[in-house]
Amino acid sequence: MSRNYYMAGNWKMHMTRSAAAQLAQEMVNQLRDGKHKYLVAPSFTLLETVSAVIEGSNIRLGAQNCAPEEQGAHTGEVSVLQLKDLGVQTIILGHSERRHNYKEDDALINKKVKLALKHGFEVILCIGELLEEREAGKVEEVCERQTVKGLEGVTDLSNVVIAYEPVWAIGTGKTATPQDAEAVHAFVRKVIARLYSEDAASKIIIQYGGSVKPENAAELMAMQNIDGALVGGASLKTESFVPIAKFS
Ligand code: 13P
């Protein structure tokens, strides 16, 4: 397979500066000889601290969201210009916690995706179905809609990563079986082939997220269409993230 594995930690709303600096330093030390692509995405307030620690390492700096506008009267929002200023290279967009808890819809996510790409960021676009959507047989319909609408107007996928995160598997300890995840990844790749090209589909990285742990990382990564992981809870400790990141 020509695609490189991409192992990412989404720290969500955890930690304060000293703990974040310590965790980032441990990751730098322990992933120095890692063979894959790596990313950590801390909260906005930790970006500057973590940026200084990982500078010059093989770990990229990610943010967990951005505003849909460049600047202006948007109280409480954080702009792509401010993220760039802190050394952020990648922005996670459309996370299910943003979609479902903060009511971000596909149109808003698409606006953010286009703005982030315009400013040269790599985007990790998260997609994934709710449990009731899975039970109603709507997995493909939901993932296709989120992919198509999230990428509307995007012509070049070279800075786009997709993360399939079934919502029922996030933070619940329930992982999709490797076979179930693989089926969705293969389907999303077909959607990309139809929308773009076979070449774009063969190159795009599709991460899996949802209760990824050291015990299940290797079997998930062994699937043909699973190219990496977006890890939540297990990314908060080197004891769990490093074995995932260095799965074999
Ligand atoms: P968990 O690994 O805690 O299930 O979270 C997954 C996730 O939402 C990563 O973005």
Ligand 1 probe mutation, 124, 212, 213, most atoms within 8 A of CB: 212
Neighbours of 156 (CB within 10 A): 9
**Does residue 1 carry a pLDDT above 70?**
no
Q: What pLDDT does 74 receive?
A: 97
Q: What is the pLDDT of residues 189-225, one digit of tens each?
A: 999 999 999 999 999 999 999 999 999 999 999 999 9
Question: CA-CA distance, 64 to 85, in Å (whole number)?
Answer: 16
- In the predicted model, what is the mean pLDDT of the chain? 97
Q: What pLDDT does 175 receive?
A: 83
206: part of which helix (H) or strand (E)? strand 205-208
Candidates 114, 109, 90; CA nearest to 99 is 109
**Does residue 63 carry a pLDDT above 90?**
yes
Q: What pLDDT does 174 receive?
A: 85
- In this prediction, residues 108-127 reach a mean pLDDT of 98
Closest residue by Cα to atom 2, ligand 1, is: 232
pLDDT band at 31 (very low <50, low <70, confident <90, very high): very high
Question: CA-CA distance, 71 to 129, in Å (whole number)?
Answer: 32
Say what percent of the chain tops pLDDT 90: 96
CB of 94 within 6 A of ligand 1: the answer is: no
Question: CA-CA distance, 72 to 40, in Å (whole number)?
Answer: 28
- In this prediction, residues 81-98 reach a mean pLDDT of 98
Structure tokens at 65: 């969201």
Residue 12 C-alpha to ligand 1 middle, in angstroms? 9
Neighbours of 124 (CB within 10 A): 28
Q: Which residue type does 36 have? A: H
Q: Which atom of ligand 1 is nearest to the CA of 233?
A: 3
What is 30-74 written as a DSSP string?
Answer: HHTT--SEEEEE--GGGHHHHHHHHTTSSEEEEES---SSSSSS-
Report the predicted TM-score, pTM, of the whole model to 2 decimal places: 0.98
Contact 121, 67 (CB under 8 A): no
Contact 166, 128 (CB under 8 A): yes
CB of 244 within 6 A of ligand 1: the answer is: no
Question: Comparing 56-60, 86-90, 174-178, 181-185, which segment has the lowest mean pLDDT?
Answer: 174-178
Question: CA-CA distance, 242 to 127, in Å (whole number)?
Answer: 25
Question: CA-CA distance, 224 to 215, in Å (whole number)?
Answer: 19
Contact 93, 66 (CB under 8 A): yes
